[in-house]
Every structure is written in structure tokens, then in C-alpha cells.
């Protein structure tokens, strides 16, 4: 049975409850094919320049083609800021977030699984009480178990420590299946891996990786993007890529008040702000 397309509100609720959801038809079949064609052209150019598209520390063999630095290309800059993707990102991470990375993994026939991991566990040590990272996964081909769909462990988005990963984790893996043109939203705490491609068809996915603003990005975009690209970005994209002059001021504007406004000297409530309100806001996350 084909699942009905969820409304954005339903999708947001599913991600909150279960850590993932599929939103179909964000791209048409033709659009997905165009993106895939451009991806192959970028992969070929990268190989020609001598850049690796196979990373032995990630994948067991060369049937996985990895493409990095997609944000150098206008088409991919449009995808990473697609309105539906951004709506989903904001519902998970809040109004302030960073684009950490945007990469592709084309799993060709014969590819095998990488290591089981959660993306949040790769950028911040446990415990993980909050969701501080997430992926918007773009399906450029149909994705199904036999062609190497990403495998995930239902409920693992609730794990807070590495020791909670059970010994039988492998048996718990289930595929994210979706049609070309869909996006899959995945909470960064979800434990997952790439599937083995035992079919005769490619499986092509893009991984838009977004994090809370206090987490350092996987790519230093200030260094990687050329001046022409940087000059073409909207103020919003500059902020999301962490290209502004200020970096991690955290919630300084929310939480810093003058001491006199936070705590009165005589033990009475301060007129501008109370110690109680100050404490409550400090623990509001």
C-alpha cells in the first residue's frame, strides 16, 4: 500500500515522535534525473582533478561513489535551502541552525554497508539528551532494500549514550524506502548505515546535514567556497553557512542581563528581571 503524502504538520510530528519520515514528490522524476546527471558530472570532474570519490575509511569497496562540496554548485545550493527542507529543519533544530555539510553517496551494485552510527554521535560526545543534528536525504533514484536503501534502527533516536547500542543492532535494521524525488527526514540521533546494493541498479542519495549553531560544521565553508559564490549568497544563506563575522555567541542575548537586573542586592525581586525567571530561562532547553 502506498502511504499518503503527509502534511507538513504530520511530517513534523512524525519526526518528533519517531525520528524520521518520508515526504514524497518534492522533485519530479525528471528533476531528480537532472540532479543525478549533474551529480555524475561533478563526480567525474572531481575524479579528473584527482579528488577521491572512494574513501576506504567510510566504505568497504569502490562501488560507493562519494561526492563532496556540493555547495560549490548552484543547483545544490538551491536544494539545501528548499522551503520544505528548511521548514522541517526549523521544526527540529529551531530558528537558528547551520548547514554542516552536503554530500552524495551513490551506492552502485556491489556496494556494502559502512559502519553503524548516528550523525550526532560523529560531531558531539554523548550523552545526547537533545536533537542537535539532522539530515534531509534527497532520493535521486528509487530507493529500496535490495539497491542499498539506508538502514536504520527504529527507536534508536531515543538513545542517549553509545553504550545503549545493543549487541544485536544488526538484526534491528530496517530500510528507508522511497521513490525518486522524495526527501527523507532523519533525526541526527537515529542510528543507521548504508545498505548493501545487491540489485543491478544504482541507488543515489544526497545528504543535507544541518546542526544546531553551537556545533562546528563538518566543512569550513569560509575556506571552501570561492569569492564569487560567497558574493552571490543571500544574507540568510551566509548565516546558515556560518560565514558571518561573529560565530558562536550562543544565547548570549537571551541570557545575559546586567547583574542588577538579574538579582536584587537586598534579596528582593529585581524589578527588571527576577532570579527565578533567569533560572527558568537558563533551563528552558
CB of 71 to ligand AKG, least distance (A): 16
Please, which residue, 68 or 221, has the CB nearer to ligand AKG? Answer: 68
Looking at the Cβ atoms of 120 and 150, the one nearer to ligand AKG is 150
- Residue 105 touches ligand AKG, criterion: CB under 6 A: yes
Is residue 192 near ligand AKG by the rule CB under 6 A? yes
User: Parallel, antiparallel, or unpaired for β 203-211 and 174-175?
Assistant: unpaired
- The minimum distance between CB 66 and ligand AKG, in angstroms, equals 8
Residue in the structure block whose three cell numbers are 536544494: 79
Q: Does 100 bind ligand AKG (CB under 6 A)?
A: no
With CA atoms as reference, report the closest residue to 91 among 12, 190, 23, 17: 12
CB-nearer residue toward ligand AKG: 123 or 237:
123
Residue 173 CA, distance from chain mean position: 20
Kindly state the number of chain residues that form the binding site for ligand AKG, as judged by CB under 6 A. 5
Could you tell me the CA-to-CA distances from 181 to 20, 143, 204, 219, 256 in Å, in that order?
Answer: 17, 10, 11, 26, 45
Question: In this complex, which beta carbon is closest to ligand AKG, that of residue 77 or of residue 192?
Answer: 192
| Minimum distance from residue 156 beta carbon to ligand AKG (Å) | 13
Least distance (Å) from ligand AKG to the CB of residue 134?
Answer: 13
CB of 234 to ligand AKG, least distance (A): 28
User: What DSSP string describes 169-190?
Assistant: GGGG-EE--B-TT-EEEEETT-
Alpha-carbon torsion (117, 149, 210, 51), positive or negative: positive
- Which residues, numbered 2-61, are part of the site for ligand AKG (CB under 6 A)? none
With binding defined as CB under 6 A, does residue 98 bind ligand AKG?
no
DSSP code for 134 = E
Would you state the cell numbers that stand for residue 12, as one nine-digit string? 513534523
- Strands 64-67 and 151-152 turn out to be unpaired
Between 93 and 107, whose beta carbon lies closer to ligand AKG?
Answer: 107
- The CB-of-224 to ligand AKG minimum distance in angstroms stands at 18
183 Cβ partners below 8 Å, 6+ apart? Answer: 22, 23, 26, 84, 85, 88, 136, 137, 138, 139
Query: Does residue 111 touch ligand AKG according to CB under 6 A?
Result: no
Separation between Cα atoms, residue 102 and residue 115, nearest integer Å: 19
Does position 93 bind ligand AKG by CB under 6 A?
Answer: no
Q: Pick the binder of ligand AKG from 150, 156, 182, 211 (CB under 6 A).
A: 150
**Binders of ligand AKG in range 241-260 (CB under 6 A):** none
**Which residues pair with residue 103 across a beta bridge?**
207
Under rule CB under 6 A, residue 194 binds ligand AKG: yes
- Of residues 123, 204, 205, 233, which one binds ligand AKG by CB under 6 A? 205
Q: Which is nearer to ligand AKG, 184 or 233 (CB)?
A: 184
Question: Which has the closest alpha carbon to 154: 136, 134, 135, 174?
Answer: 174
- 150 or 182: whose CB is closer to ligand AKG? 150
Name the one residue in this structure whose C-alpha cell is 531515543: 158
* Residue closer to ligand AKG, measured from CB, 53 or 274: 53
Q: Which residues of this protein are in contact with ligand AKG, per CB under 6 A? A: 105, 150, 192, 194, 205
Amino acid at each position: 500500500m502506498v502511504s499518503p503524502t503527509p502534511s507538513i504538520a504530520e511530517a513534523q510530528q512524525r519526526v518528533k515522535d519517531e525520528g524520521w519520515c518520508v515526504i514524497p514528490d518534492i522533485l519530479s522524476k525528471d528533476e531528480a534525473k537532472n540532479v543525478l546527471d549533474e551529480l555524475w558530472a561533478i563526480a567525474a570532474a572531481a575524479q579528473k582533478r584527482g579528488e577521491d570519490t572512494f574513501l576506504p575509511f567510510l566504505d568497504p569497496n569502490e562501488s560507493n561513489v562519494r561526492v563532496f562540496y556540493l555547495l560549490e554548485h548552484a543547483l545544490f545550493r538551491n536544494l539545501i535551502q528548499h522551503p520544505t527542507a528548511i521548514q522541517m529543519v526549523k521544526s527540529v533544530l529551531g530558528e537558528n541552525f547551520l548547514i554542516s555539510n552536503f554530500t552524495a553517496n551513490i551506492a552502485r551494485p556491489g556496494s556494502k554497508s559502512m559502519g553503524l552510527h548516528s550523525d550526532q554521535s560523529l560531531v558531539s560526545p554523548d550523552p545526547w539528551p537533545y536533537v542537535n543534528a539532522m539530515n534531509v536525504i534527497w532520493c535521486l533514484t528509487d530507493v529500496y532494500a535490495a539497491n542499498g536503501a539506508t538502514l536504520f534502527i527504529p527507536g534508536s533516536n531515543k538513545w542517549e549514550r553509545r553504550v545503549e547500542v545493543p549487541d544485536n543492532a544488526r538484526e534491528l535494521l530496517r530500510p528507508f524506502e522511497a521513490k525518486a524525488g522524495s526527501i527523507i527526514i532523519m533525526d541526527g540521533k537515529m542510528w543507521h548505515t548504508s545498505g548493501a546494493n545487491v540489485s543491478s541498479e544504482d541507488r543515489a542519495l544526497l545528504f543535507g546535514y544541518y546542526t544546531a549553531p553551537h556545533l562546528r560544521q563538518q566543512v569550513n565553508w569560509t575556506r571552501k567556497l570561492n569569492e564569487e559564490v560567497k558574493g552571490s549568497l543571500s544574507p540568510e544563506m551566509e548565516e546558515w553557512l556560518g560565514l558571518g563575522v561573529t560565530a558562536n555567541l550562543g544565547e548570549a542575548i537571551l541570557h545575559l542581563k546586567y547583574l542588577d537586573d538579574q538579582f536584587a542586592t537586598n534579596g528582593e525581586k529585581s524589578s527588571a528581571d527576577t532570579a527565578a525567571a533567569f533560572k527558568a530561562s537558563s533551563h528552558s532547553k
